[in-house]
Structure 1
Amino acid sequence: MAQNIVEYPEALGRMKKIVAHIQEGTGPETVWLLEHPSVYTLGTSSVKSDLLNPGDTPVFETGRGGKITYHGPGQRVGYVMLNLKSREPDLRRYIWTLEELLIRVLAEFTVKAERRSGRIGLWVVNTNQQEEKIAAIGVRIEKWVTYHGFALNVAPNLECFKGIIPCGLKDFGVTSLEKLGIKSPLREIDGALKKHFFELF
């Protein structure tokens, strides 16, 4: 399902309910595509020094893995709630498959996204031969049911990333499809996500 802007606390509460139903066998697996209002979220590995200047942007602690990141309008957030017991109970394989999903989606928009050893997420090389992050991944698994997921920078306000050290990586920048000169409505991104999701999962 896809929705417009959803407040972060509301999304977190709904995710937890969906996950509980999947664990109990009383609800379906779900992929939820949405946007958030501007918000900084802290993963379980976050350190306070990575929060530089939040200003008026709300900050939330969350149970996902990883460090601090930004969510906001123009960014496609995907929350993936799957029962890995009925698939492949392998966390590394699951994260690899999420990365592969985004690599295939971005390839449809002529963007070559790549993995980097030791850095979860996806990276592109800009015209100055510098690596910039275009998608973040942060997940949590409870009783082999996944939640949280990925954030793909379509056309967010990249200035908002300056309030933090994104994912704790101070030596790398952040980019988006818009910054790369590609204007793609979220509905086109969603179509590619759905297509490749069913290929991979």
Structure 2
Amino acid sequence: MTDAPRAPRPPATLRWMGRVDYEPTLAAMRAFTEARTPDTPDEIWLCEHPPVYTQGQAGRPEHLLDAAGIPVVQTNRGGQVTYHGPGQVVAYPLIDLRALGIFVKEYVYRLEHAVLKTLEGFDITGHRVPGAPGIYVNLADPGGHAALTWPRPEPFQGLGKIAALGIKVSRNCTYHGVALNVDMDLKPFQGINPCGYASLQTVDLATLGVRTDWTTVAQRLGDRLVSHLG
């Protein structure tokens, strides 16, 4: 007798957390991931953080130029240093990749695609940069549809980073995630080499002339993530 097929997994649940401190949120993500079983439903946490720099697991200290009193937290995600602050939508997908039937490369692609489609809804065209996870915009024509051409002598010339990505996978389950800049004080990004790239400009939707609010962007990004990770 063969085992009966397992019922399809329900879509990930969106969990609205509001503005929460970074370190307790990280601890909660780790605890959720360590305690979950094959039957634990996936969740996607949506939040924003008070000002904080977070350093990736292999982050190099020279990329933190001047913290200017902003806390610096060492984390176990991939990537280099980044900044979180009010006006930024932070999404933490807690996803069982084995149950979803995908590997890490596909997962990263889907995260980035969810951001691209969210930006498209605000008439902003996002771009990927090979070898540099996250989403970028062409500052000279943020709504233009022309694809970037590769190779480029200076990969980031004329680009601004609007979304950062850093993940951790433990026992095929993900945590950490993606941060999309909506309407922020961008000055703290000048205190770091964002994601390890010197002189990389960071932008938000407000800089690009998009007038919206945090809740609207969070809902649209959350819905896209549920769709792409189900």
TM-score, length basis structure 2: 0.83
Deviations 1:31-82 (A, max 9, x none): 0000111000000121110011001100000000000000000001111100
- Tell me which residue corresponds to 2:58: 45
Stretch deviating more after TM superposition (24-33 or 142-151): 24-33
- Tell me which residue corresponds to 1:136: 164
SS in 2 for 1:102: helix
Q: 1:76–1:186: 8 Å Cα contact kept in structure 2?
A: yes
1:15, 1:26 → 2: CA distance? 17
- Tell me which residue corresponds to 1:154: 182
2:123, 2:169 → 1: CA distance? 32
- Tell me which residue corresponds to 2:147: none
2:26, 2:200 → 1: CA distance? 28
- Richer in helix (by share): 1
Q: 2:133 aligns with which of 112, 120, 126?
A: 120
Shift of 1:26: 6.2
SS in 1 for 2:68: coil
Deviations 1:70-127 (A, max 9, x none): 0000001111100011012411110010000000001001110011111110000112
Q: 1:18–1:27: 8 Å Cα contact kept in structure 2?
A: no
Whether 1:15 aligns to 2:29 is yes
SS in 2 for 1:9: helix
- Tell me which residue corresponds to 1:192: 220
1:17, 1:44 → 2: CA distance? 18
Give the CA RMSD over aligned residues: 1.4
Q: Determine which structure has more spread, i.e. the larger CA radius of gyration.
A: 2
Please, which runs of 5 or more residues in structure 1 have no aligned partner? Answer: none
Q: 1:75 aligns with which of 88, 102, 114?
A: 88
- Tell me which residue corresponds to 2:197: 169
Q: 2:166–2:176: 8 Å Cα contact kept in structure 1?
A: yes
Shift of 1:20: 1.7
Q: 2:193–2:199: 8 Å Cα contact kept in structure 1?
A: no
Moved over 4 A (4+): none
1:141, 1:69 → 2: CA distance? 19
1:136, 1:99 → 2: CA distance? 9
Shift of 1:195: 2.7
Please, which runs of 5 or more residues in structure 2 have no aligned partner? Answer: 1-14, 142-156
2:189, 2:128 → 1: CA distance? 21
Identity %: 33
Deviations 1:116-146 (A, max 9, x none): 1111100001128710100000000000000
2:101, 2:222 → 1: CA distance? 20
